[in-house]
Structure formats: C-alpha cells, structure tokens
Chains A and B, each alone.
Chain A
Amino acid sequence: METYYDPKDLKNFGKIGEFGQELADKFFDYYGNVFKDSALSAREKSLIALAVAHAVQCPYCIDAYTSDTLEKGYTEEQLMEAVHVTTAIRGGASLVHSVQMMKQAKKLMM
C-alpha cells in the first residue's frame, strides 16, 4: 500500500544534498552542533526533541527520538510525560486564545 510517509525514507535524510549540497551541509553541521553536550546535555536535548517531534507531528522524528531517548536511558514513563508537556502547551495555546474570545464576547453582548 502506498502512503505519504515511508519509514525507510528516514535513512535517506542525509541525501537531501543531492538537490542543494551547500545548504544541506550547513543544516547538518548546525544540527550536529545543536545536539552536542553544552549548557544543556545531549541527553536533555534528546527529550526536548521528542516533545517537539510530537508538536510538529513528524513521524520520522518521533521514531528517531523514541529510540534516542530510550538509548539515553529515559523510561517509557518519562517519554510519555514529555509528550504530555507537548500536549499541555498545544492545548494551552488554544485555550489562552479564549481570553480574546471572552473579551470580544463581553464587548459584543449586553
């Protein structure tokens, strides 16, 4: 069955330079540096990446960072808590707009 997403495509991510090497090189160099141990550890960054992967709903990133966080010793419970953080922020982003809705409704209504 054909689908828009093929798990095997993830392995070919590194080949995007075929259509534009210079920017691809710059991106992968940047990516590599972002995930190095620095003010935040590589381990902490991996969990942030998992949460963001769920926010942007990227199936490739979800697969990659599920493995990566497990490999870095996080528990399944911690992975799920990270996704709840995503959900809280996404849900909160909608709900906080209700302040605008409430203001407008109060303005319009007697």
Chain B
Amino acid sequence: MKSLFASHNPLATPAVQLDVLHKLALTPFSERIKSAGLDEIKPLPISILQVNLGKMCNQTCKHCHVDAGPDRKEIMSRETMEQCLSALRGSTIQTVDLTGGAPEMNPHFRWFVEELTALNKHVIVRCNLTIILANKKYHDLPDFFKAHHVEVVSSLPHFTALRTDRQRGEGVFLKSIEALQKLNAVGYGIVGSGLLLNLVYNPTGAILPSDQKGLEAEFKLRLKTEFNIDFNALFSITNMPISRYLEFLMESGNLEAYMEKLVEAFNPLSAQNVMCRNTISVGWDGTLYDCDFNQMLELPVNSTKTNIRDFDEQALGLRSICVDDHCYGCTAGAGSSCGGEIA
C-alpha cells in the first residue's frame, strides 16, 4: 500500500482534509468549547516534548494520521535534534516522547536517545514492534531500550490477527507478538523490572474506543493465555478524522455518522484535560505544534516563534492553542490522548 502522498491523493494536502470536515457543517469546535463554559483551551506548563523523528516507516497502516510509510523520506536531521537538546537543556520539561513514522529508522535515533538520557530525561519511544524484526540492525532494540531505561509504547489494535492485520497490514500481528515476546525476554512489561511496556488500542473501524479498563483486562487475559505476553497498561486512543483514517471514513460512507458520534460524545471534562495543554510537538523540520495531529494538518503554534531553534517556553505558555473540528476526536467520551483516556 502506498501513502496518500505517494499516490497523489488530494487528501495528502492538509487544507483539503480540513475542507472535508468544514463541509460537514458541524458546530465548530471553538464554539462548542465556549458553550461548555470553556473560553478556550489554555496551555499549562509544558511537561512533555513530543518529537516526530520523521514520516518514514516500515508499515503503511490504514488509520495512520501521519500518512507514514516506506515511501516517505522526510526525517529529522541531526541539526534539528541538537536544537531539541538545546531547548531541553534550558527547560524543566521532564519527558520526551519520540514518535514517527518509525522513529528507530532515523539514522540519528540512537544518538538522540543517548543524549536525552544523558540529560536525565524520561524517554518514551512509540515503537511499532515490527521494526524490531524488520532488519538485523534493529534486532538489538530491546536491549538498547533497556540500557537507556526507555518507556516503550506500542500499537496493538487487537488481540486477534484478523483485526490487527486489517488495520496494520498482512502478517503484522504475528510479528508484533514475536517482538512483544522479545521485549518481555529482556524484562519489559514484567512486574518489578521497572521497564514499562504499554500498548495502544486504536479501533479497527468507524467506532470509538470504549472502556479502557475493560479492554485492558481482556487484552491482558488473551495475550497472557495465548502468547505468554505481559504488558503494563493499555492506552485506548480515538482515531482522528484526518489523513488515511479520514480517507477510510469517506470511502466506507462512515464520515458523517462518525463525526456526529464524536460531536454528540463531546465531554467538557475531557476538553479540560487534552494533551495539547501540557505538550509541545516538534515536526521533523523543527516546526512547533500544539499536538501531533495539528502537525499533520500543518497548523503550527500561534506564536511568533514557531521553530525549535527559537524555543521560548515562556512565550509558548501564553499562546492560544490552535483548534479545529478534528479536535472533537480528543474530547469524545472519556477523551483521548497519547496516554489514552483523560476523563
């Protein structure tokens, strides 16, 4: 499967995606938060710097909001990573969340993790699991993660091959299981090891995630009994109506109903806890965004300084967070963030 970008699909253009959402004539998200008694979503002190190391990936998942894939070549340079390190040196930010694409495919990935560890930062890597088996040079990633005490967060949309492969590609489930077993073998997800292995559940279809606690219990039972796999927590994340998931919604005739569902499920409590309040997202070229979704829609932070080389934590604290109708994805029901439910 090709990315939208490589197949010249109009939906590869962020403005086209936003236009599709605007044509649905929903109550604009900015108005909805006002009617819920929130003037705007206000930033809190930044505690997480989420760094997108690039759109290159060994997988082409059907729901990918990044439109990542093997045909994407945009990756973060070492110079931009150095600028991230400079920003972090003068900051109180404690957590750095590395994402992609497959962040491990960036040739400077290991150097960057080592530098972040030297700065005493808590490092999260969003690992797609199959990368560990994709090439001999990645086989030692579990040991590398362990050596740097990295928190591993990995997508596994279901405990069955059928549903996982439908979203992430043929054969991905069994490879993911093998990778999880390798992570367990070095201590990841094992009680008392201190090595965190968290899984991400994204629904495989035009449905919302539900009952994170119940799903976690079912995942733990099924993965343990069938594959002897242990993990720490399951993060339940709503699919955002952008990029390839937006294409799926349109092609399957589910767009209108899905968006109505998100709007109807708007939860003011979730709106108060959205991740953009305490996170800054850095794009592969250094541009700063309120979140990874705004990054893919090319909606940079509302600030005079929009690049990591000019990182100004104080100015960012005064910014107005940029919202649009895709934001309903983070505020539906129990809400959604890179760490799962928020309400």
Measuring CB to CB, which residues of chain A are less than 8 angstroms from any residue of chain B? Answer: 11, 37, 41-43, 67-68, 70-73, 75-76
A43 and B218 contacting across the interface, CB-CB below 8 Å: yes
A72 and B163 contacting across the interface, CB-CB below 8 Å: no
B160 and A75 contacting across the interface, CB-CB below 8 Å: yes
- Binding site secondary structure of chain B: loop
Tell me which of A41, A42, A71, A72 has the highest count of chain B C-beta atoms within 10 A of its own C-beta.
Answer: A71
- Binding site secondary structure of chain A: helix
CA distance A43 to B221 in the complex (A): 14
Chain B residues with CB under 8 A of A68: 210
CA distance A37 to B217 in the complex (A): 13
Give the residue of A37, A42, A43, A71 whose beta carbon is less than 8 angstroms from that of B207.
A71
Chain B residues with CB under 8 A of A37: 214
Measuring CB to CB, which residues of chain B are less than 8 angstroms from any residue of chain A? Answer: 158-160, 162-163, 201, 203, 205, 207-211, 214-215, 218-219, 264
CA distance A73 to B236 in the complex (A): 11
Closest to A7 in B: B257
B163 and A75 contacting across the interface, CB-CB below 8 Å: yes
CB distance from A82 to the nearest CB of B (A): 15
Chain A residues with CB under 8 A of B211: 42-43, 71-72
Given A42-B211, A43-B218, A73-B219, 8 additional A-B pairs, CB 8 A:
A68-B210, A70-B203, A71-B203, A71-B210, A73-B201, A75-B160, A75-B162, A75-B163
CA distance A72 to B203 in the complex (A): 9
CB distance from B260 to the nearest CB of A (A): 8
B207 and A67 contacting across the interface, CB-CB below 8 Å: yes
B209 and A71 contacting across the interface, CB-CB below 8 Å: yes
Chain B residues with CB under 8 A of A42: 211, 214
A43 and B205 contacting across the interface, CB-CB below 8 Å: no
CA distance A73 to B264 in the complex (A): 21
CB distance from B159 to the nearest CB of A (A): 8
Give the residue of A11, A43, A67 whose beta carbon is less than 8 angstroms from that of B214.
A43
